[in-house]
Amino acid sequence: MAQACLRCLKLVMCAANFLCFVCGISVLGLGIYLSVNFKMAALTPSMADFSVAHVLMITGIVITCVSFLGFLGALKENRCLLLTFFLMLFLLMLAELTAACLLLTHEISDLKKDLQEGMKKAQQQPKNATLTDWDLIQSTLHCCGVVNASDWGQNVPDSCCDGPCIKVNPNYYQQGCLHVLKGFFEDNFLYIGIAIIVFCIIEVLGMCFAMTLFCHISRTGLGYKL
């Protein structure tokens, strides 16, 4: 009975990590596509090296590496890979909790200042840039500028237009992106918290499964030994 349960646990770990591996490859591919085909600029100077494309690529690489270790470690009953998988999941969970705490403690005034500095840098980008993070945010969230369209001065991007962008009396979005982002986090605060908790639970389960297989292999003398 115990052997059957462990075999089932091994198959579950292999299947779950294979699905995560496929998702990681997809996210990585999307990040590479955006990086190659679009000129991306970060919203804030504090995240100058982390545009949407860069974040997607880093996320895809992390998911792919961690899931590959879990899949191969469970499939081959490799103690070294299982232990590495356990440690990487633990570090990933700590990073997620740290990021969540920083997000919750980040002052709105600091965010406004960061967005304003990021907008100044975006205005210095070449005019032939087909897409920036600002264009993506403004067209997706239906907002314009930090406070309103006047933040862009005389060079308001087309992504601020509510519908077709005309030169005479253009119909810009009335709300600034700071207000929309603040409202988004306030309205979805509960869901964001639940999502973080769910991810942490999944990671804890993955660590428990990995350690269970690791201990079983240690007791039986199977698999690769450290």
What are the boundaries of each domain within the chain?
2-220
Q: Model confidence over 168-181: pLDDT tens digits?
A: 777 888 888 888 88
Asked if 86 and 207 count as a contact pair (C-beta separation under 8 A), the reply is: yes
Query: Taking the model in full, what pTM does it have?
Result: 0.67
User: Identity (one letter) of the amino acid at 7?
Assistant: R
Q: Model confidence over 151-163: pLDDT tens digits?
A: 887 778 888 887 7
Those residues with Cβ within 8 angstroms of residue 84's Cβ, 6 or more apart along the chain or in another chain: 69, 73
What values do phi and psi take at 127, rounded to 5?
Answer: -70, -20
Q: Do you know the residue count of the chain? A: 226
**Average pLDDT score, the chain:** 78
CATH of 2-220, one of 1.10.1450.10, 1.10.10.10, 1.10.150.120, 3.40.50.970: 1.10.1450.10
pLDDT grade, residue 226 (50/70/90)? very low
Which DSSP symbol is given to 124?
T
Structure tokens at 64: 């792919």
